[in-house]
Amino acid sequence: MPLFEGQHVVIVGAGKSGLAAARLVARHGAKVTINDAQPEAQAAALIAAAKEIGAECVLGDHPEDLFSSADCLVLSPGVPPLASVDAAMARGVRVLPEIDLAAQFLDGTTVGITGSNGKSTVTTLVGEMARRGARPSFMGGNLGDALTLAADTAAAGPDGLVVAELSSFQLERASQLRCHVAACLNVTDDHLDRHGTFAAYAAAKGRIFAMQRRGDHAVVPAGDALCEGLARAGLGTLHTFGGTTGEVRVIDGALVDLVSGLRVAVPELKLRGLHNQSNACAAALLARLAGIGAEAIAEVLRSFEGLPHRMVHVRDLDGVAYFDDSKATNVGAAAAALDGLGELPGRVVLIAGGVDKGGTYAPLRARMETAGRALVLIGAAAPLIRAAFEGSDVPVEDCATLEAAIAASRRRATPGDAVLLAPACASFDMFRSYAHRGDEFQRLVRALPEGV
């Protein structure tokens, strides 16, 4: 068990992960300082939380002298690269990303899931499968509870099972979190505003495999050369899902695990969309490799209806289906959402736009030229997306508000079509979060009168 007794630990970044880390090291005897860039005048809630923990606060900037005089720095995932952190490392200060701090308290089996798209759905599926098993379990990380909250619980013990969603922000500096079962579901353009290049972003995702040891399991989609290359750089045994060669894949209308004999007919799955069939295959494989029984896996596959704002069927109106996939905050996710609607009789009117995250909109254009009725744009990235559709036959319309975009989409859709909110962008230009954006979409769609 790691010892922090008497050490000065500086927590950098005071979001939910930072505060959870502060509470953990304080319980283990550390003198804690919480450091955050927000100004003191706007940090009343943070100051109160620090007082409850017994921690000091240093707010407004990230002082090099504070960092260099600490025994240990714990970095929250949202903290960007900082020169003051590099200077502290050069002076020999121990630096731990939040997930590496958590790793020191985890003695059981850890399942880690990363990827540009689908990781929250797969994490929740595996977490629910674990919950139905006989072992103590915990689900969290980038989704839900901070990973450090697993420490000091039964799930962290030798017989426990921890299921963690891991983002590129969490993984980019990590070196100590061993995932006995690790998955990278896909890598598409995302967070290039943080990582700079696609190669750097992919390398951050690949850290999940680099920390594995012999006897561990590395899970990737069948036929994905990039993900397979990332997995083969580690020591885990390679396993694949989906496609025509995966250990768990769809065969003759059923999800089949060729190793365990699990078989669930596709119509029994509550999750909508072809991409969610792939997510279900990944979850079933991860769960089996983590030691979860086939009965629990099958029960969850037959009952899980999906997460909020992830391909939620809001309503049908005048023969048109309306879907909320506000969680599609990058181009790959929006493209997957369009693929998932491939069985519809009509075409798709797509509402997209928000804050650009870097990368190309070419995959979106390719999908829309095959399946699209029209593209309706909102938000700051609208000019960039419009430029990407220059010369395309897909009609493009700009709208100032989400309400106007829904009205425009309704005018353009015909019976058999779908109106899909899959923005391919972050939400913060117009909304508090992707959830706020999705809530507003659902509220406005449900308020539409019939037959107008």
Catalytic residues, by residue number, are 119, 142, 191
- The β-bridge partners of 59 are 36
Three-state DSSP class for 384? helix
Residue with tokens 């731990």: 96
Length of the chain: 452
CA dihedral sign of residues 132, 138, 141, 146: positive
Which residues does residue 226 pair with via DSSP β-bridges, in sequence order? Answer: none
Sheet containing 320-324: which strands, arranged edge to edge?
312-317, 320-324, 418-421, 348-352, 372-377, 396-398
Q: Specify the DSSP class assigned to residue 147.
A: G
What strand order describes the sheet that includes 109-114?
137-141, 161-165, 109-114, 181-184, 217-221, 237-241, 248-251, 254-257, 263-265
Residue 35 pairs with which residues in a beta bridge? Answer: 12, 58
CA distances from 111 to 108, 141, 305 (A): 10, 11, 22
One DSSP character per residue, 273-329 reads SHHHHHHHHHHHHHHHHTT--HHHHHHHHHH----TTSSEEEEEETTEEEEE-TT--
Residues whose CB falls within 8 Å of the CB of residue 397, separated by 6 or more in sequence, listed in order: 374, 375, 376, 377, 408, 412
Report d(CA 276, CA 291) in Å as an integer: 23
DSSP-assigned letter for residue 351: E
